[in-house]
Structure 1
Amino acid sequence: MIDIATRVYNHKWKIDPVVRSLIDTDFYKLLMCQTVFHNRPDTRVTFSLINRSKHVPLADLIDEGELREQLDHVRSLSLTRGESTWLRGNMFYGKRQMFSPEFMEWFEGMRLPPYQLERRGDQYELTFEGKWHEVMLWEIPALAVLMELRSRAVLADLDRFELQVLYARGMTRVWEKIEQLRQVPDLRLADFGTRRRHSHLWQDWCVQALMEGLGDRFVGTSNCLIAKRREIEAIGTNAHELPMVYAALAPDDAALAQAPYDVLSDWQRGHDGNLRIILPDTYGTRGFLDNAPDWLAGWTGIRIDSGDPAEWAETAIKWWQSRGEDPAKKLVIFSDGLDVAKIIELQQRFSGRVRTSFGWGTLLTNDFRDLVPGDRLAPFSLVCKAVSANGRPTVKLSDNPNKAMGPQDEITRYKRVFGVGDQERAEVVV
């Protein structure tokens, strides 16, 4: 096992680049990329970095030259032969050839497109423009680079023993969480912590701790590189990006209202079983479920990623019942800002009523709260989102208005089209 503290103290850039591989990314990005590659290959999209935590001055913390160096390194990466073999031949979700030969041939020759970086006050403006299936692969590595460079900046002044103590405390915190979770009956939990991790080495350590501490109750990781290296399941389905872009492309209000279902119609042509998971909150969960076609009720489950998780799980149960489905056979994946107490509470409430699973993210792979003076390693909310498609702005409403994004006039229009009324605001921690 790597001595992370010593590695940080003796840091050499060439030994520890932030992103080490094109598959040092979330599995759902590759699944979505293939869907876009086959269904919307000519769509042009702009992605942009959005720091929701304005109190974290990224441009003051992170040297621009070092940031460019890391981003340029990501652009130099291509699939290795071993990575290509793993993607082509490994079994994912019970399917041997998850990725088509046409997609793999393209991916094997792909390099990430250029980026645009400017400093704006104490923040960076980082954007990526181009064909959707190319620029979408920037999201996860861009976030990982910013998050880890921020961590490195905070740790730069710590000496060897301070780093040893810091990581010992961090490891103790993670292990204490695992000890609580191992007491929870019928738990199913996956690592979803790539995008806002403390570092690659730390995420890998957390995954190993979960493997040892939870055994078969730990079902896998979203990170493809770690899944390959540790020989565990790669976990992931789809994200808000798909309906956001499809909606932006809609020519009128009627097409806009239909766009979230068009996305899933395209998705189901290539995926079945546990990959048929509904993510309903992009434009409000209640309206999505009320207007959903009957065929969606037959899907395997639902992922809850904003708002009150218990409330929306209860809503999903009632919806399945109203459509003649047995909720006990359905899967509910909780994935929004989870930590141990919330995982335990939700598992106890819904165990036996539905099949539950938990995607544990930032508070697994980046929980160094109160471990350095000034709490400068506390996790914060950084995202990289599609902000336009074919020149038209994208919109996300969410079940928490603090996560909404897009021009205000378009937000107003989307609320009207999707029947979104008053929403309860909740703090966005991560």
Structure 2
Amino acid sequence: MKLNQIITSLLETDMYKFSMGQTIFHQFTDYKTTWTFKCRNEDVHFTQKMVQEITEQIKAFCKLRFTEDELAYLDNIKWIKGSYVDFLRLWQPRFEDFEIGTDAPCGLSIEAKGTWLNTSMYEIPTLAIVNEVYFRMAYDYDKLLDSFKKRLDAKYENLKNGHWYAGTFSEFGLRRRLSAEAQELAVQKFAHLNDTLHSSSKFVGTSNVYLAKKYGLTPVGTMAHEWIMCTGQGNHRHNPAYSNWYALDAWIKEYGVLNGIALTDTITTDCFLRDFQLTYATLFSGVRHDSGDPYEWGEKMIAHYKSLGIDPKTKTLLFSDSLDFERADKLYRHFCKEINVAFGIGTYLSNDTDVPALNIVMKTTICNGMDVAKISDTPGKGMCKNPDYVDYLNRCIDYRMKNDR
């Protein structure tokens, strides 16, 4: 490796990987998945030297193991069970699960194939590695970091003096961060926000479990789109238009009323609401927005809670789609009188520099030999290798929406 090792701990991933991982371990150990990397930036190219460095960094990641100190930290999280911690004590990434090459328009292709237990844990570290390698090798990194620090200082001051009010917010930027150094600077900075008497905004945690442990913060995260896609579409006996029901049912079996923020947009929020009826709406503490118009979504969720006789003030709307503090401020002021509002803010906190951030993803594309897809509330955010399957899934959703009342 030409660069220092980027991922240095297996805790250096998003919290929802452990939330989903425990349930996969207890209920879906036999599921197998394929994950596919995609760069959505049309003007970005990864050189051969970058691809080689990414390969070496992933090899180094695959040599890591959980330490007893890290396992003890996980064991103290109230909803993590000892059986899962014991599994993690034995678990290790496998470089053999990766296929890394140059056969893609951007010059970098990555696929990971294997058990869902394994491959789910590869997504976040892989994306963090790709980001950091790219920005260190394509630009003058020191200049980028200087611009990052200046912008970070300005954000902090604007929150501290009340120019923006972001309510309760967390840092969600691991997958698209400029670097490990930059993300840690952001977490350090905003951890001090809670110490000032001048700020009414509250920083509650980070999705990065390693940094949460290091700075005594709350590790934040429940479920991702992979959860709904695989539990709902990875079984040939399931109608994929009911993906949310299968996902919510398995989650409640694992956690009951704990760890309960539901993701709504995997096969559209309108379809999600067909399954998010009284039992689930009561047991889950809130819902997360990740695509579509946030105002329309929020009003729709408030109306849904009211239609079920649930007081919206007992629930939380968690916004996490392409946020900055200005947008968060406006969303908070719009919704705060009717429902609790929280924010998960990613790239804006971990990779805001003088150059545009990468728009890269790594998504589940196959589960148990079958295509899976995310439809989303925003056209273009989905990803699937088979357009025929997307058409089939859309027709299933359309039929249900028209006929299943």
TM-score (norm 2): 0.91
> Which deviates more from structure 2 when the two are superposed, residues 266-275 or residues 313-322?
266-275
Runs of 4+ in 1 over 6 A off after TM superposition: none
Cross-structure match for 2:86:
105
Instruction: State the 1:420 CA deviation.
Output: 8.8
Alignment of 1:118-129 (within 5 A): 118-120=101-103, 121-129=105-113
Cross-structure match for 2:403:
none
Cross-structure match for 2:122:
138
Q: 1:332 to 1:340 in 2, by over 3 A?
A: same
Letter paired with 1:174: L
Contact 2:22 2:84 in 1 (8 A): yes
Instruction: State the 1:141 CA deviation.
Output: 0.5
Q: Which residue, 80, 88, 99 being the options, matches 1:116?
A: 99
* Distance (Å, rounded) in 2 between the aligned partners of 1:238 and 1:291: 16
Alignment of 1:260-271 (within 5 A): 260-271=244-255
Instruction: State the 1:340 CA deviation.
Output: 1.6
Q: Which residue, 155, 167, 190 being the options, matches 1:177?
A: 155
Match of 1:47, SS state, is: strand
* Distance (Å, rounded) in 2 between the aligned partners of 1:274 and 1:334: 20
Structure 1 vs Structure 2: percent identity of aligned residues? Answer: 30
Cross-structure match for 2:176:
196
Instruction: State the 1:30 CA deviation.
Output: 0.9
Q: Deviation string for 1:224-250 (max 9, x for gaps)? A: 110111111111111100111123223
Contact 2:24 2:116 in 1 (8 A): yes
Contact 1:62 1:150 in 2 (8 A): no
What's the Cα RMSD here?
2.0
Matched, 1:416 2:403: no
Cross-structure match for 1:229:
214
Instruction: State the 1:411 CA deviation.
Output: 1.1
Alignment of 1:347-366 (within 5 A): 347-366=332-351
Instruction: State the 1:256 CA deviation.
Output: 2.1
* Distance (Å, rounded) in 1 between the aligned partners of 2:330 and 2:92: 44
Alignment of 1:158-173 (within 5 A): 163=142, 166-173=144-151
Alignment of 1:52-71 (within 5 A): 52-58=40-46, 60=47, 62-71=49-58
Matched, 1:41 2:29: yes
Matched, 1:17 2:1: no
* Distance (Å, rounded) in 2 between the aligned partners of 1:259 and 1:340: 33
Match of 1:108, SS state, is: helix
> Which deviates more from structure 2 when the two are superposed, residues 259-268 or residues 332-341?
259-268
Q: 1:186 to 1:405 in 2, by over 3 A?
A: closer
* Distance (Å, rounded) in 2 between the aligned partners of 1:80 and 1:300: 32
Unaligned runs of 5+ in 2: 196-200, 401-405
Q: 1:246 to 1:274 in 2, by over 3 A?
A: closer
Q: 1:420 to 1:363 in 2, by over 3 A?
A: farther
Unaligned runs of 5+ in 1: 1-10, 422-430
Count of aligned pairs between the two proteins: 388
Contact 2:148 2:182 in 1 (8 A): no
Alignment of 1:370-389 (within 5 A): 371=354, 375=355, 378-389=356-367
Cross-structure match for 1:82:
69
Instruction: State the 1:64 CA deviation.
Output: 2.6
Matched, 1:334 2:315: no
* Distance (Å, rounded) in 2 between the aligned partners of 1:201 and 1:325: 43
* Distance (Å, rounded) in 2 between the aligned partners of 1:290 and 1:221: 31
* Distance (Å, rounded) in 2 between the aligned partners of 1:274 and 1:99: 10
Letter paired with 2:323: L
Instruction: State the 1:280 CA deviation.
Output: 1.1
Match of 2:205, SS state, is: strand
Q: Deviation string for 1:367-412 (max 9, x for gaps)? A: 11xx2xxx3xx11211111110111011110000111222211111
Q: Deviation string for 1:155-185 (max 9, x for gaps)? A: 35x6xxxx2x643332121121122233255
Cross-structure match for 2:240:
256
Q: 1:296 to 1:168 in 2, by over 3 A?
A: same
Contact 2:145 2:182 in 1 (8 A): no
Q: Which residue, 309, 320, 334 being the options, matches 1:324?
A: 309
Q: 1:290 to 1:266 in 2, by over 3 A?
A: closer
* Distance (Å, rounded) in 1 between the aligned partners of 2:388 and 2:244: 20
Match of 1:409, SS state, is: helix
Contact 1:198 1:365 in 2 (8 A): yes
Match of 1:18, SS state, is: coil
Instruction: State the 1:275 CA deviation.
Output: 1.7
